[in-house]
Structure 1
Amino acid sequence: MRKSVYDLKKPLLVMSVFTMIACSLCSFTMAGEFTKTIKREFDISANGTTYLSNKYGKIEVKTWDKNRVKIAVTIVVKEGSEEDAQKVFNAISVNFSNGADYVKAETAIEQIRRSWIWDDGKADYKINYEVYVPTTINLQVDQRYGDVYLASVSGKTKLTVKYGNFKTESVGDGSNFELAYGNGSIDHAENAYVGLSYSKLTINEANDLSMNSAYSGLNASKLNSLTTTAKYDNYTLGTIKSLKATGMYSKFSATNAGAVNISGQYNSVAMSEISKSLDLDLNYGSCNVSFSKGLTNATIKANYTDVTMKVLPDLCCYQLDAAANYAGVRYPQAMNVTYEVQKPTSHVVKGHVGKSDAPIIKASVNYGGIKVLGN
């Protein structure tokens, strides 16, 4: 007798249901979470150094009023059984060392051996540090594949984070930050160095900052001075007293600037309320700046770049010395023009608004226009 289609499908249906139940049980079994905590405490001098090195987790550094370092490392493992979790615990260790003026904790991970033949060899685990240090301590922190939080310390901080994020409060003079493939936040820094690659950094306030960046972004509210080399970056600044930058394919902007010095190729410059000096050397870029009271001088050299300059009302007097090749010069009607020569391929203008011995604004552009707005 020939079996019906329904009869042929029954074994397949039963097998499918069994497979679904087995997979559900497997998923449930592998959802277990196991933890192991390692705790250590060490005496340290008030101005000593704490070294921390970790990966695949987070580091949180807090402060207290003791000349001691307290470290708690919590290892969290998600596995199907306690036996398999123990194999992961056995492969992870924290190496401690210390002296009168230093404490060091470093994560070490051996190859994790697994028993299940269908497993891909990757364990699901996290290694989290919680550390208490004196407020005057120096810090050296190296983190991979995880985040870092640092409380305020008056000592020097050296922080390296790759494939993670960091947040710091106040750090001491001479601090150093290296960030790759992550986001960073600094509340306050004195003199510091920052290296960025494929990252974004936010700074609330800093004194003197030195930077080297690529494919990154900086957003800073208040800086005293910034010296940087930038490639494919975006610098968005609030108030800055002194900026010196060498850039390529980068954008530089500020809402209130003092002295500005920028050079390079394929850069975009937008600086507002420049109150001291401007020195630009640009190729294949754009320039949009404004000048305010206190300006002493401004010099712009550019090729294949359009230049727009706005003179704000509080800068009542200035001189203009502008020359454009293969472009023109536009200037305010109120300007007292003392010299002007316009040819088919060039335009030269000299003049002044207010006193003739006022600060000089010089602009020389090839293959780009010059526009002066305002007074």
Structure 2
Amino acid sequence: MLLLCCGLYAGAQAINASPNLYAANINTSVSVTVTTDHQDMTSTERAEEGSVTKSFTRAFAVDQMDKINVNNRYGSVTVKTWDRREVKAEVTIRAYSSSDAQKLLDQVAIDAAKQGDLVTFKTNINVEDNRWGNFSINGRKSRREVKVDYIIYMPANNALTVLQQYGNVTVGDLDAALSAKVQYGNFVAGKLSSNNNYISVQYGKANIAEATKATIKHQYGAGVTIGTVGTLNLDAQYTKVDITNITGEAVIEQQYGAGITIGSVGLLNINAQYTKVNVGTIKRGGTVANLQYSSLDIANTGSIKVDAQYTTVNIGQLNGDGNFKMQYNNLAVAMVGEGVKRLNADCEYVGMSFNFADRYNANVDVQTSYAGFKFGAGVSAKLTGDDDDRSSNQRNYIGKIGNGGTNMVRIKAEYGNVIFR
């Protein structure tokens, strides 16, 4: 066990450790080295006189059922997979201080143990002085901190849990279950093949090349970037989201932030507030969208249900049934395709416009209250009711698009115009 101490940022919360562990008698290898580095500095930097470094290595034999847990602060964790049936941690600990670097280095504990089917590597920091970081005293710059950097070598098919505060986590391709929690740092992963991937990032960014199935929670920071994912459950707050392809179903919640962009998705269920949602193609019908104070732009979709307030909705191509309930702003469908059997819109204070395919046929029922209704040459409609009804602000139009038939378009508008083209 090695010891090194540092102060903590005021108010920072430590990540919870694993249960008490007891070292098992197994094959291990340990190596420790200590070096002291001194660098040439300008006169304004001489308060920082050097750094002290220790390195630590330990390995444990594992089988496929064993789980690996890494808990670190103030540094980084890099995970690399290999073909050996063992897990090895290489840890570099560096202390920076103008006066007590060695004291800092001597007050960190790197715990490594195996108990049952759990292998644990944990950084313990014995806090004695909470002065931490880069600061200036009487005009002289000073630095007092430590960095604890892990490289973990492990089989790709062992389950992994990583907890990291104030630093980055990088994971290569992994076949087994992954749970990663990162605070004040970034998360980067290659291909995650398991059906059990949980990633939580606060005040950082997440970049995942590919995942079979993932649950992601992201708060603040530089955003979420995903290449391809099969099934996704995403909760994003105050951050940007960019996803190239979701092959299956996605359940997404987003609040605030620079918006979410999705290239293509199989099926989408989205709940968004105070943000922008931009989707290329939704491949299957059954999409549900609930939005407040946002915008929704979809280039191509199957059937969809939208419930929105103070939101602008733009749909390029609608290939399935549409159901829209909205208050305030605008609704526009650039092309209602021939496969739409039911199109319903119940809107208040919303300007609505619908363009219909040349060979689209449907019956029409439009009810307006303090709203106008205009339609093009492909639509025929007449105002129903007696003269008293015609003079009121509530009107009902019955007609057809094309030749009419079994399809039905039913619109209810209060305080907003309706346009059929």
Q: Same fold per TM (> 0.5)?
A: yes
TM-superposed deviation, 1:151:
0.6
Contact (CA 8 Å) 2:378, 2:401: kept in 1 or not? no
Relative to its length, the structure with more helix (as a share) is 1
TM-superposed deviation, 1:53:
1.1
2:360 match: 317
Q: Against the structure 1 CA distance between its residues 242 and 189, is the aligned structure 2 distance closer, same or farther, given a 3 Å change threshold?
A: same
Query: Paired residue for 1:262, among 289, 308, 318?
Result: 289
**What is the alpha-carbon distance in structure 2 between the residues aligned to residue 97 and residue 354 of structure 1?**
76
Whichever residue aligns with residue 176 of structure 2, its letter is G
Matches within 5 A, 1:119-158: 123-158=144-179
Contact (CA 8 Å) 1:297, 1:361: kept in 2 or not? no
Q: Calculate the TM-score normalised by the size of structure 1.
A: 0.81
Whichever residue aligns with residue 378 of structure 2, its letter is A
Secondary structure of 2:269's aligned partner: strand
Q: Against the structure 1 CA distance between its residues 160 and 253, is the aligned structure 2 distance closer, same or farther, given a 3 Å change threshold?
A: same
2:317 match: 291
Q: Against the structure 1 CA distance between its residues 101 and 250, is the aligned structure 2 distance closer, same or farther, given a 3 Å change threshold?
A: same
**What is the alpha-carbon distance in structure 2 between the residues aligned to residue 168 and residue 343 of structure 1?**
66
1:301 match: 325
Q: Against the structure 1 CA distance between its residues 44 and 305, is the aligned structure 2 distance closer, same or farther, given a 3 Å change threshold?
A: same
Query: Paired residue for 1:111, among 127, 136, 159?
Result: 127
1:133-180 CA-partner distances (Å, limit 9, x unpaired): 101121111111111110111111111111111111111112111111
Contact (CA 8 Å) 1:52, 1:105: kept in 2 or not? yes
Whichever residue aligns with residue 352 of structure 1, its letter is I
TM-superposed deviation, 1:329:
4.2
Say if 2:255 is the partner of 1:222: no
Q: Against the structure 1 CA distance between its residues 239 and 163, is the aligned structure 2 distance closer, same or farther, given a 3 Å change threshold?
A: same
**What is the alpha-carbon distance in structure 2 between the residues aligned to residue 254 and residue 343 of structure 1?**
43
1:169 match: 190
Secondary structure of 1:191's aligned partner: strand
Whichever residue aligns with residue 240 of structure 2, its letter is G
Aligned residues: 343
**What is the alpha-carbon distance in structure 2 between the residues aligned to residue 35 and residue 71 of structure 1?**
16
Contact (CA 8 Å) 1:61, 1:133: kept in 2 or not? yes
TM-superposed deviation, 1:300:
0.8
Whichever residue aligns with residue 228 of structure 1, its letter is I
Whichever residue aligns with residue 334 of structure 1, its letter is G
2:28 match: none
2:66 match: 48
Secondary structure of 2:228's aligned partner: strand
User: What is the CA RMSD across the aligned residues, in angstroms?
Assistant: 3.0
Say if 2:79 is the partner of 1:91: no
Contact (CA 8 Å) 1:152, 1:169: kept in 2 or not? yes
Whichever residue aligns with residue 153 of structure 1, its letter is L
**What is the alpha-carbon distance in structure 2 between the residues aligned to residue 354 and residue 125 of structure 1?**
76
**What is the alpha-carbon distance in structure 2 between the residues aligned to residue 96 and residue 324 of structure 1?**
72
Q: Percent identity?
A: 21
**What is the alpha-carbon distance in structure 2 between the residues aligned to residue 133 and residue 322 of structure 1?**
65
